[in-house]
Amino acid sequence: MIQKTLETNLRFGFLIHDVSRLRRIVVDRALKPLGLTRSQWWVLAFLSRRDGMTQTALAGDLDLTKVAIGGLIDRMESAGFVERRADERDARARRVFLTRAGQKLVTTIRESVDDVEADILADVTEDELDAAARVLVKIKARLLDMSGAEADGGQDDVT
């Protein structure tokens, strides 16, 4: 019985990973005409949920090093999508904010992704989606608790 439970748990974990990976591929393809890399649209997505994140928090959420996020933010700032500002309480920290152009791009991204999401979920009923979301929110809360990480503001969507 233990082996079956372990196998079921592993299959569930791999399934979550595969669904996430395939979704990223499909969304990347939909956003390709906008000329965005995955890293860029992820930065924009996170800032659209929590504008003014520190570079360190953004690096952590995106699973990037501080050097990598610094270069990425440099390029996005040069393109006019984000701007850095000193933290009002901690002069050492830099916060990243969407510019008007960045906010406009987030709107365009959402419009593009809305169509893709509708297509992805075409065969899933509202009840099935609600049930799956409830399960994933429970798992996420448990993982946050186990990892000692802080909650991300209560929103469970990415884009």
* pLDDT tens for the 159 residues of the chain, in order: 455 676 777 788 899 999 999 999 999 999 999 999 889 999 999 999 999 999 999 999 999 998 999 999 999 999 999 999 998 888 888 899 999 999 999 999 999 999 999 999 999 999 999 999 999 999 999 999 998 876 554 444 433
Strands (E), the chain: 53-54, 82-86, 94-98
Write down the pLDDT at residue 159: 37
Can you tell me the distance from the alpha carbon of 108 to that of 33, in angstroms, rounded to the nearest whole number? 11
- Could you give the domains of the chain? 2-122 (1.10.10.10)
Write down the pLDDT at residue 132: 94
